[in-house]
Structure formats: C-alpha cells, structure tokens
Amino acid sequence: MAEKLDREEVVVLLGTPTEDASRLYAMTVTTGDPSWAGALAGVALQLPVYHVTEDAVKAEIAPADYDEHLALMAMAMDLDAIARAVRSVREDQAPPHPDPLPREGEREPCR
C-alpha cells in the first residue's frame, strides 16, 4: 500500500487497547519496527498515525457509529495514556526521509 500511495494520502488509525501497544505500532509506521523483528525493521515510513479514540478522529466519526462500534471498548481503555503515547510518537518524528522504502537489494537481510 505504501508503495502505491503518496505519504500525504495515507493516515494510519490504530485501535490498540493499551498505551504500550499503541506506542509500539505508532513507532512501527513512523520510524520502523522498534523490535527489529518484523518486515518494517529499519523502514521509516513516516506515516501520520492516530488512535481511533483521539478527539480529532472521534470528531470525524458519526456519533451513532462511534457508540455502536467503539464506545464499549473505549470505556475499558486508558484513553488519555493512549492518546499521549500516540501523540508523542507523532510529535517526535524526524522530517521525512526522501524515499522511506528500500529499493530492491538495499535492505539488509535479517540475522
């Protein structure tokens, strides 16, 4: 997907239930997989990332849809901590690299 679209056309929405998971996935789609275990290890996509319960996103969702699909889940989550985690990753992003995707043969093999 990232190879077919410009970064300006993509927004990543997370629905992760914890602060730690939200931070990990936000880092994965911005600076690359921090565990260096997955396909995005060392691949800085620099994609904008938000959690589906953040106010900016919630404002774009019809209230009835939010209530039906997200409200129950949101009651069990620490929304403030999740929002802080995702926002901190967004704010800590370095300026985008001119070409975040490795070209054929440029990526180091997994060890």
Give CA torsion, residues 24, 28, 33, 35, to 10 deg.
Answer: 0
pLDDT (tens, 9 = 90+) of the chain, 111 residues, equals 656 877 778 899 999 999 999 999 999 999 998 888 888 888 888 999 999 999 999 999 999 999 999 999 999 999 999 999 999 999 987 454 444 444 445 545 444
pTM for the model stands at 0.76
Domain ranges, ordered by start, for the chain: 7-92
Find out whether 100 and 43 touch, Cβ atoms under 8 Å.
yes
